[in-house]
Amino acid sequence: MLSPDIIRRSAAAQAAALHAGETSSEELTRAHLDRIAAVDDDLNAFLHVSEEEALTAARDVDARRAAGEELHALAGVPIAVKDVVVTKGQPTTAGSKILEGWVPPYDATLVEKLRAAGLPILGKTNMDEFAMGSSTETSAYGPTRNPWDPDRIPGGSGGGSAAAVGAYEAPLAIGTDTGGSIRQPGAVTGTVGVKPTYGSVSRYGLIAMASSLDQAGPVTRTVEDSALLHELIAGHDARDSTSLPDPVGAYAEAARRRDVKGLRIGVIEELEGEGFAPEVRARFTESLDQLERAGAEIVRVSCPNFEYALGAYYLIMPSEASSNLAKFDGMRFGLRVIPEDHPTAENVMKATRGAGFGDEVKRRILLGTYALSAGYYDAYYGSAQKVRTLVQRDFAAAFEQVDVLASPTAPTVAFRLGEKIDDPTAMYMNDIATIPANLAGTPGISLPSGLAEDGLPAGIQFLAPARADERLYQVGGALEALLEDAWGGPLLAKAPELAGGAAR
């Protein structure tokens, strides 16, 4: 008899249970679908649940296992996918009304990999519209709620993936991170998230927001699970011109190493001062103390240009987005609004874009179009690109002194729904610590550092040089083990039980 607690185990432990024949993928997938049915009316982490498809995939992998086939380590473990990633035959909206009803005719490369490895796809997760936001409140389909407190935001833009994993609706999820959308939701929900090196996971089939910044990555409850999923989705793809040719690293092995002796960790001076909540800083410092006691060397480093990173991001990202979103014109995908008066092609486009895009998306299209316009291009877009180079140089100089960099992931714990939605600048400040890595293309991980203000989770972020993602798993895996020893188990075990969940 399957214990209902199986959904609370890590993905690696669920995979081990499948391997040992303690359960089947069908049973495991059903257990997660039941959990979704019990709690997701309250959380709204899923925009679409693909029950039949997930169960069919699960039965197929069970049959392959029974036939003695050699299977992927995560075969049979279900997963949720952020709705910005296209899935053949399953609706994909990117959280926007303009794509309502669109069913993609193809799979993203990473989805192909998930299917080939036998991971049943539970459904598509909620997100800020076109991944623009830090709270999942700009979704056209209503906000997702934080499993720790339903009055709070789950972070964004990938709040649906983080909430689904944090609430045991899925053991694994896919996120995307353009300025922090995997790491910041991880921090405020007590989960783990990784933004891989730019180019290491194929972007083919991601609905592009800012192509030079976007990167897909894992959202999980443990560092090892992120490593396993990262290994599965990474690798060269000829269909993405920015895909790296590198072989995939031994991330899971690094996550299990539990050794930081002699590792040099640089605390970024510009990212730990005012602007970060006192208890978030306290948990950050305590985490570093733990690592120091385990033999790491903690030094302070300065990255003076990080101060300008947010400003540069909010020119580069809208510029690229204004171009990427031009294709949503009412002709090719999803929504089409035909005005009664003069339904010319141009008027259909205007009406469709007017009705289909939300305020934040329109704000960024305007900003980006302005920044790219003749006469302003050098002053805005051009200057932002120069700052981007300076941020890259800060990273290069810092990584001459240290192996990894560290900072709190987000400045505060989860804020209340509605608190920042009318103040774009306050919303943008959430990504102050995460954006530099996107500008530089370098990888980052966020994992729980403990409970901070109001008893809510805070996150610590580690950053590594491009193509050195292993280091994130090494330091993350080691810190997670140290902290869980101190807490007597995972931080998520301290989250209050969800109303619907208790009825299980």
Residues that bind ligand GLN (CB under 6 A): 131-134, 157, 177-181, 209, 317, 431
If the CB atoms of residues 120 and 179 are measured against ligand GLN, the closer one turns out to be 179
Is residue 157 annotated as part of the catalytic site, yes or no?
Answer: yes
Cα 483 from chain centroid (whole Å): 22
Q: Which is nearer to ligand GLN, 220 or 434 (CB)?
A: 434
Which of 144, 151, 23, 134 is CA-nearest to residue 80? 144
Amino acid type, 167: A
Q: State the nearest-atom distance from the C-beta of 128 to ligand GLN, in Å.
A: 7
Q: Which two tokens stand for residue 75?
A: 């075969």
362 is catalytic: no
Shortest distance in whole angstroms from residue 131 CB to ligand GLN: 3
Judged by beta carbon, residue 177 or residue 403, the one nearer ligand GLN is 177
Shortest approach of ligand GLN to residue 84 CB, angstroms?
A: 8
Tell me whether residue 117 or residue 233 sits nearer to ligand GLN (CB atom): 233
For residue 492, the 8-state DSSP code is G
Q: Which is nearer to ligand GLN, 54 or 216 (CB)?
A: 216
Given the residues 82, 113, 195, 420, select the one marked as catalytic.
Answer: 82
- The token pair at 11 is 């993905």
The active-site residue out of 10, 25, 181, 449 is: 181
> Please, what is the minimum distance in Å from the beta carbon of residue 109 to ligand GLN?
19
Round the CA-based radius of gyration of the chain to a whole number and report it.
21
* Cβ–Cβ under 8 Å, residues 124 and 92: yes
Peptide bond into 157 cis (omega under 30): yes
With a CB cutoff of 8 Å and minimum separation 6, the contacts of 406 are 265, 266, 267, 268, 284, 288, 460, 461, 462, 463
The one-letter code for the residue type at 458 is: A
CB of 243 to ligand GLN, least distance (A): 20
Q: Considering beta carbons, is residue 72 or 183 the nearer one to ligand GLN?
A: 183
Of 214 and 403, which CB lies nearer to ligand GLN in the complex structure? 214
Q: How far is the CB of 189 from ligand GLN (least distance, A)?
A: 15
Q: Which of 10, 24, 50, 157 is catalytic?
A: 157
- Name the pairing type of β-strands 404-408 and 264-268: parallel
Sign of the C-alpha dihedral, residues 29, 34, 37, 42? Answer: negative
Q: Which long-range contacts (CB under 8 A, 24 or more apart) does 87-92 make?
A: 87/111, 87/121, 87/124, 89/53, 90/48, 90/50, 90/53, 90/121, 90/123, 90/124, 91/47, 91/48, 91/124, 92/124, 92/207
Between CA 95 and CA 97 the distance in angstroms is 7
- Is residue 181 part of the annotated active site? The answer reads yes
Tokens of 495: 């989250």
Residue 457's nearest CA partner among 280, 203, 287, 314 is 280
Least distance (Å) between residue 431 CB and ligand GLN: 5
Question: What are the residue numbers of the active site?
Answer: 82, 157, 181
